[in-house]
Structure 1
Amino acid sequence: MALAQRRGQELMTSDQVAASVNTNPVIIRRSLGDLREAGLVEVRRGAGAGWSLARAPEEITLLAVYDAVEREPLFGMHRTEPNLECPVGRGIRPALGRVYGGVEQALRHELSCTSIADVLRQSLDLQAQ
């Protein structure tokens, strides 16, 4: 959100972004790298180095951000195969697979309907109250 708020102004360093969200700059650099690979942010190196959005905040959905930074599904199956001799063990993966698939589909739909600009606007509106 900090990059969206500063759009069109000076670039932000990863230290500045980290301070905005109160986390370690190393974590931010990793996430910004993922976002850069997805074409959502740009980096300028050298004098005046920093990060900026690659597109207008209205054009970047939360789904695009989620897809850039999340490697695994929101819910995953346990790594160990259940006991297939047990009636519950035999059916648990297909049953949970349907539920998890529906949750993932609902999440993706909601994220696709919200842009970075929407979240920034709501954040600033709540701050003004």
Structure 2
Amino acid sequence: MAVVSRYTLALHILSWLAFRAEKKDEFLPSDRIANSVNTSPVFLRRILGQLAKAGLVLVQHGGTGAGWKLARKAEEISLLDVYEAVVPTPLFELHHSQPNPKCLVGKGIQPALRDIYEESEVAMKQRLAGTSIAELVTSSLAYGSAQAEPGFEH
């Protein structure tokens, strides 16, 4: 799965946990989270593991009450925090093999792209840092309520 997809799933997971925490602060099992995301609980646990390692979620193992919940308030978790937790490499990467150094374009393409990529990633991270999971939940609920099926809520 693409890194960007894992990031989107991580944002969905945290938004759902934040939404549920507004009603009741409890650990929620992977299968309940997976129902909202519409994917396998096993797959979600890998992403949740990354989020736990970054200190964004807490896990409780074993039996009744096992599951996941936010480690801190949704207002205190930025989208950048999540990005840094699940995206291990830079957003853009250069060639995996060295371009032809005898070619004028090949010789200069990597330095030219490096500048553009670095500036783009800085701008993206600034935008993500300015948005919290709580704000994402609010926005998601606004869009979702306009399109929701009656009586359907997780």
Q: Shorter-chain-normalised TM-score: which range?
A: over 0.9
The equivalent of 1:6 in structure 2 is 20
Q: What is the SS of the residue equivalent to 2:65?
A: coil
Q: What is the CA distance between 1:18 and its match in structure 2?
A: 1.5
Deviation at 1:27, TM superposition (A): 2.1
**Pair 1:76 & 2:90 matched:** no
Amino acid at match of 1:110: R
Asked if 1 retains the 8 angstrom alpha-carbon contact of 2:61 and 2:67, the reply is: yes
CA distance in 1, matches of 2:140, 2:60: 27
The CA deviation at 1:9 is 3.0
**How many Å separate the matches in 2 of 1:108 and 1:85?**
35
Q: Say if 2:28 and 2:65, in contact at 8 Å, map to a contact too.
A: no
Instruction: Give the AA of the match of 2:124.
Output: L
Aligned residues: 129
Deviation at 1:125, TM superposition (A): 1.4
Q: What is the alpha-carbon distance in structure 2 between the residues aligned to residue 24 and residue 115 of structure 1?
A: 26
The corresponding residue for 2:151 is none
Which stretch has the larger CA shift, 1-10 or 71-80?
Answer: 1-10
- 29, 38, 57: which is aligned to 2:74? 57
Worse overlay, 101-110 or 7-16: 7-16
Partner secondary structure for residue 28 of structure 2 = coil
Q: Any stretches of 5+ residues in structure 2 without a counterpart?
A: 1-14, 147-154
Question: How far did residue 72 of structure 1 move?
Answer: 1.1
Cα pair 2:75 2:135 within 8 Å, conserved? yes
In 1: Cα distance, 2:98 partner to 2:40 partner: 37
The TM-score, its normalising length taken from structure 2, stands at 0.80
- Higher mean C-alpha deviation, range 6-15 or range 61-70: 6-15
What is the RMSD computed on CA atoms of the aligned residues?
A: 1.0
Matched letter for residue 6 of structure 1:
R
Structure 1 unaligned runs (5+)? none
Is 62-71 or 40-49 further displaced after alignment? 40-49
Q: Tell me, in whole angstroms, the C-alpha distance in 1 between the residues paired with 2:91 and 2:31.
A: 28
Counterpart pick for 1:101 among 114, 118, 126: 118
Residue 85 of structure 2 aligns to a residue whose secondary structure is helix
> Is 1:116 matched with 2:133?
yes
| TM-score of the superposed pair, with normalisation by structure 1 | 0.95
Moved beyond 4 Å, runs of 4+:
none
SS in 2 for 1:108: helix
Corresponding position: 1:18 with 2:14: no
